Structure 1
């Protein structure tokens, strides 16, 4: 199990089977909050569904298609962060993330994405490009790539079906040279 430090109180820890109960609990207590922007909540009905998701992420890691991490804050699981898959031919990926409502407003996700980019995407994996997509109305999710200096590339219209309607997605990207330039210029891990 790999751990990536973020702050004295927070870290990224690779998801493992023992996390299923706590991750399900976090999903379940935040179900109404997360439902506005995440399309998969109806298929996560019990701990075994979360355990299957974690098993898929472990398999994804074994196949060199990325890694999913839990975001831990003061010893509690606060959310998750991971890649959808890796296109090794073009050295690119896209990432997704979510945070429980009770953990919002602490800068955790901005710090988590920065640490993930440092250690894995532009570090260990040596990828050229990473993208983040968020529904245009999801101001909190869009704030993460904006704080970190990602470029807004455009909007994909009716890109995702959320239960009973389609939403547009804003598409952001960061290139390896841009990220390294921002980091060497002294950008703090929080993006500020």
Structure 2
């Protein structure tokens, strides 16, 4: 499955053949990503990336999650996903990361915009939710730029290697997105 974002950015479901590119982007951005993402120690080689891709395909087939690679000019730049889809309540929980090579170019804002459009228009979801560490300003700027509402905070909402971080919760409703 592929979602076109613009002339040079697309979101594509990851395939096993993406394992090496995914590992290389993860590995070269390890220091950049480690401050905010708890799963990096579990990705030590291409095989780990392949297992993640295979697991993401299973989740997609089970309609529990949807994980896409973000491709910029045909190169894998990061991932974006509905980490969880709550079908009963029609909520998509969005997560994302971008390789350090591709930050600062507006890629993630446009990728999130496209995923939100897909969730509301094609999946008939009613709500999108994004959680970010309260001190992760770059990640927080994305929902803020897109008009999400900061709805509160979760104290010590995530364990990052040796400490807890608080999370800001951002929400967007379908009816509010339609007004944008």
TM-score, normalised via structure 1 length: 0.92
CA contact (8 A) 2:134 2:140 kept: yes
DSSP 3-state at the match of 1:25:
helix
- Is residue 2:179 matched to residue 1:181? yes
1:81-120 aligned at under 5 Å gives the runs 81-119=80-118
Which residue of 2 is the match for residue 157 of structure 1? 155
Aligned equivalents of 1:124, 1:59: Cα separation in 2: 20
Aligned equivalents of 1:74, 1:128: Cα separation in 2: 32
- Uncovered stretches (5+) of structure 1, i.e. residues with no partner: 183-192
Aligned equivalents of 1:17, 1:117: Cα separation in 2: 25
Aligned residues: 180
Deviation of 1:66 after TM superposition, in Å, equals 2.6
Aligned equivalents of 1:80, 1:64: Cα separation in 2: 18
Aligned equivalents of 2:121, 2:64: Cα separation in 1: 15
Aligned equivalents of 1:77, 1:172: Cα separation in 2: 27
Structure 1 stretch displaced more, 27-36 or 81-90: 81-90
Deviation of 1:125 after TM superposition, in Å, equals 1.0
Deviation of 1:62 after TM superposition, in Å, equals 0.7
Aligned equivalents of 2:113, 2:27: Cα separation in 1: 27
Which residue of 2 is the match for residue 14 of structure 1? 13
Deviation of 1:124 after TM superposition, in Å, equals 1.5
CA contact (8 A) 2:67 2:83 kept: no
DSSP 3-state at the match of 1:20:
helix
DSSP 3-state at the match of 1:105:
coil
Which residue of 1 is the match for residue 120 of structure 2? 122
- Uncovered stretches (5+) of structure 2, i.e. residues with no partner: none
Deviation of 1:123 after TM superposition, in Å, equals 1.6
Aligned-residue CA RMSD (Å): 0.8
- Is residue 2:26 matched to residue 1:43? no
TM-score, normalised via structure 2 length: 0.98
Deviation of 1:23 after TM superposition, in Å, equals 0.2
DSSP 3-state at the match of 1:32:
helix
